[in-house]
């Protein structure tokens, strides 16, 4: 069976970043947008990242314009928004499609139980979250309304970090 380590993300400089580089870490993969009611979650995601990053945790953000055209930015403008305006230090990749005909292969995998063995839920809006264990297996998902500080999310992260 595949794992997320079989995929890559495109960095803002255009280089491919293998998700194998995150092997052995607990991951939260999030589709983001800059003009969304959930955009304030960037601050909560950063706080979550700072809390657990030294314990083997990473957040991987994939901006998407698939829902309400709420991510109009690309390239340097988008990178500047994430790094300077939102002050995120976790990895943010180039904008991708997370649903539809042009869906990025990673998000096809994350959303299809036939491929990932566990989760069968596509993102329905921005800031949908997928939780991945240290072996690169998708273990859970959280809808956009779930705050990055939600106890049910942090409890699962801590459990995965400690196993």
47-85 confidence digits (pLDDT tens): 999 999 999 999 999 999 999 999 999 998 999 999 999
Residue-range domain boundaries for the chain: 4-161
Catalytic residues: 36
Q: Is the dihedral of CA 65, 69, 74, 80 positive or negative?
A: negative
User: In this structure, are residues 141 and 122 in contact, taking their beta carbons and an 8 Å threshold?
Assistant: no
Q: Model-level pTM?
A: 0.97
Tens digit of pLDDT for each residue in 143-157? Answer: 999 999 999 999 999
Q: According to the CATH classification, is domain 4-161 in 3.40.220.10?
A: no
User: In this structure, are residues 33 and 62 in contact, taking their beta carbons and an 8 Å threshold?
Assistant: no
């Amino acid at each position: 069976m595949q794992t997320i380590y079989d995929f890559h993300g495109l960095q803002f400089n255009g280089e491919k970043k293998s998700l194998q580089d995150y092997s052995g870490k607990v991951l939260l993969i999030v589709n983001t947008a800059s003009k969304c009611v959930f955009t304030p979650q960037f601050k909560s995601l950063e706080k979550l990242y700072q809390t657990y990053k030294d314990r083997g945790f990473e957040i991987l953000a994939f901006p998407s314009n698939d829902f309400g055209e709420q991510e109009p930015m690309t390239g340097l403008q988008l990178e500047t928004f994430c790094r300077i305006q939102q002050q995120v230090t976790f990895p943010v990749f180039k904008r991708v499609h997370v649903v539809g005909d042009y869906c990025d292969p990673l998000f096809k995998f994350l959303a299809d139980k036939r491929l990932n063995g566990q989760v069968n839920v596509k993102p329905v809006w921005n800031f949908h979250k997928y939780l991945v264990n240290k072996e690169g297996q998708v273990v859970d998902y959280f809808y956009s309304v779930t705050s990055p500080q939600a106890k049910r999310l942090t409890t699962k992260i801590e459990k995965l970090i400690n196993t």
